Amino acid sequence: MGIFHWLETSPVVREFEVAEFREWASGYYYRVAVTLRDGSLLHAREFFNPEERHYSFHWQTAAGALIVRWDDAPHHRGLETFPYHVHEGDTVKISLPVSLREVLAEIDKRIRTSG
Protein backbone atom coordinates (compact mmCIF):
# COMPACT_ATOMS: atom_id res chain seq x y z
CA MET A 1 0.00 0.00 0.00
CA GLY A 2 1.25 3.48 -0.87
CA ILE A 3 1.11 4.95 2.62
CA PHE A 4 3.58 2.42 4.00
CA HIS A 5 5.88 2.95 1.03
CA TRP A 6 5.82 6.72 1.62
CA LEU A 7 6.60 6.23 5.31
CA GLU A 8 9.41 3.76 4.61
CA THR A 9 11.07 5.88 1.91
CA SER A 10 10.53 9.45 3.14
CA PRO A 11 13.79 11.12 4.17
CA VAL A 12 11.98 12.98 6.97
CA VAL A 13 10.71 9.82 8.72
CA ARG A 14 12.90 8.33 11.43
CA GLU A 15 10.41 5.62 12.44
CA PHE A 16 6.70 4.94 12.56
CA GLU A 17 4.25 2.79 14.46
CA VAL A 18 0.98 1.56 13.01
CA ALA A 19 -1.70 1.90 15.69
CA GLU A 20 -4.49 0.63 13.47
CA PHE A 21 -4.87 -0.53 9.89
CA ARG A 22 -7.90 -1.94 8.12
CA GLU A 23 -8.28 -2.57 4.42
CA TRP A 24 -11.25 -3.80 2.40
CA ALA A 25 -11.98 -4.25 -1.29
CA SER A 26 -12.67 -0.58 -1.98
CA GLY A 27 -11.01 1.31 0.85
CA TYR A 28 -8.88 1.54 3.94
CA TYR A 29 -8.40 3.14 7.35
CA TYR A 30 -5.15 3.73 9.18
CA ARG A 31 -3.75 5.49 12.22
CA VAL A 32 0.01 5.90 12.54
CA ALA A 33 2.40 7.72 14.84
CA VAL A 34 5.51 8.96 13.07
CA THR A 35 8.73 10.16 14.66
CA LEU A 36 10.44 12.63 12.33
CA ARG A 37 14.16 13.20 11.90
CA ASP A 38 14.13 16.35 14.05
CA GLY A 39 12.34 14.56 16.91
CA SER A 40 8.93 16.08 16.19
CA LEU A 41 5.90 13.82 15.78
CA LEU A 42 3.22 13.35 13.16
CA HIS A 43 -0.07 11.67 14.08
CA ALA A 44 -1.82 10.64 10.88
CA ARG A 45 -5.18 9.04 10.29
CA GLU A 46 -7.17 8.58 7.14
CA PHE A 47 -10.37 6.86 6.09
CA PHE A 48 -10.97 6.29 2.40
CA ASN A 49 -13.56 4.62 0.22
CA PRO A 50 -14.87 5.69 -3.21
CA GLU A 51 -17.74 7.69 -1.67
CA GLU A 52 -15.84 9.57 1.04
CA ARG A 53 -12.49 10.42 2.55
CA HIS A 54 -11.60 11.88 5.95
CA TYR A 55 -8.17 12.71 7.29
CA SER A 56 -6.16 14.43 9.97
CA PHE A 57 -2.40 14.95 9.85
CA HIS A 58 -1.30 16.48 13.16
CA TRP A 59 2.34 17.60 13.35
CA GLN A 60 3.61 18.55 16.79
CA THR A 61 6.80 19.15 18.71
CA ALA A 62 8.22 16.36 20.86
CA ALA A 63 6.72 18.22 23.85
CA GLY A 64 3.24 18.11 22.28
CA ALA A 65 2.81 21.68 20.99
CA LEU A 66 0.96 21.95 17.67
CA ILE A 67 3.07 22.94 14.68
CA VAL A 68 0.54 22.28 11.88
CA ARG A 69 -2.61 20.20 11.49
CA TRP A 70 -4.19 19.50 8.13
CA ASP A 71 -7.74 18.13 8.38
CA ASP A 72 -11.21 18.06 6.94
CA ALA A 73 -13.31 18.21 10.12
CA PRO A 74 -16.60 19.94 9.23
CA HIS A 75 -16.08 23.16 11.14
CA HIS A 76 -14.80 26.53 9.91
CA ARG A 77 -17.70 26.72 7.46
CA GLY A 78 -16.71 30.24 6.43
CA LEU A 79 -13.56 29.08 4.63
CA GLU A 80 -13.83 28.88 0.86
CA THR A 81 -12.17 25.44 0.90
CA PHE A 82 -14.60 24.03 3.53
CA PRO A 83 -14.22 21.44 4.93
CA TYR A 84 -10.50 21.38 4.05
CA HIS A 85 -8.29 23.58 6.21
CA VAL A 86 -4.98 23.80 8.04
CA HIS A 87 -4.23 24.93 11.60
CA GLU A 88 -0.95 26.74 12.23
CA GLY A 89 -0.80 27.81 15.84
CA ASP A 90 -3.99 29.74 16.54
CA THR A 91 -4.53 30.50 12.85
CA VAL A 92 -6.85 28.52 10.57
CA LYS A 93 -6.17 28.80 6.83
CA ILE A 94 -7.67 27.48 3.63
CA SER A 95 -6.25 24.26 2.25
CA LEU A 96 -6.86 21.94 -0.63
CA PRO A 97 -7.23 18.25 0.24
CA VAL A 98 -3.83 16.73 1.05
CA SER A 99 -2.36 13.25 1.18
CA LEU A 100 0.12 11.76 3.61
CA ARG A 101 2.72 11.92 0.85
CA GLU A 102 2.16 15.68 0.39
CA VAL A 103 2.25 16.30 4.15
CA LEU A 104 5.55 14.41 4.51
CA ALA A 105 7.03 16.44 1.63
CA GLU A 106 5.89 19.72 3.21
CA ILE A 107 7.28 18.76 6.61
CA ASP A 108 10.57 17.70 5.01
CA LYS A 109 10.81 21.08 3.26
CA ARG A 110 10.04 23.02 6.45
CA ILE A 111 12.56 21.06 8.53
CA ARG A 112 15.28 21.50 5.89
CA THR A 113 14.73 25.26 5.66
CA SER A 114 14.55 25.77 9.43
CA GLY A 115 17.59 23.74 10.33
Rounded Cα–Cα distance for residues 100 and 109 (Å): 14
The domain locations on the chain are 2-114
Give pTM, 2 decimals. 0.94
| pLDDT at residue 115 tops 70 | no
Mean pLDDT of the chain, nearest integer: 95
With bands split at pLDDT 50, 70 and 90, how would you rate the model's confidence at 89? confident
- CA 38 remoteness from chain centre: 17
At residue 35, the 3 state secondary structure works out as strand
For the chain, the maximum distance between any two Cα atoms, rounded to a whole number of angstroms, is 42
With bands split at pLDDT 50, 70 and 90, how would you rate the model's confidence at 75? confident
Rounded Cα–Cα distance for residues 104 and 11 (Å): 9
| pLDDT at residue 2 tops 90 | no
Cis peptide before 83 (omega within 30 of 0): yes
Task: State mean pLDDT over 41-67.
Answer: 97
